[in-house]
């Protein structure tokens, strides 16, 4: 069961990263997107969506 949750988490994270890259966002605070936590990615995603 844990493995399924990890796969879902990874897919969600990848989708957010893809969306940010499609919108020209490659780094946040000097860090590559893949280095950020899901929380940080979601904050950036929400900024982009609400902007």
Domain ranges of the chain: 2-50
pTM: 0.82
> What sign does the dihedral 17-19-24-25 (CA atoms) show?
negative
Q: Report the percent of the chain where pLDDT is more than 70.
A: 96
Average pLDDT of 9-25?
Answer: 94
How confident is the model at residue 1, as a pLDDT?
58
Average pLDDT of 12-36?
Answer: 95
Q: How far apart are CA 7 and CA 15, in angstroms?
A: 12
Average pLDDT value over all residues in the chain: 90
Q: Is the pLDDT of residue 16 over 80?
A: yes
């Amino acid at each position: 069961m844990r493995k399924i949750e990890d796969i879902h988490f990874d897919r969600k994270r990848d989708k957010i990263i893809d969306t940010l890259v499609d919108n020209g966002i490659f780094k946040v605070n000097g860090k590559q997107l893949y280095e950020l936590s899901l929380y940080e990615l979601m904050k950036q995603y929400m900024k982009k969506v609400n902007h």
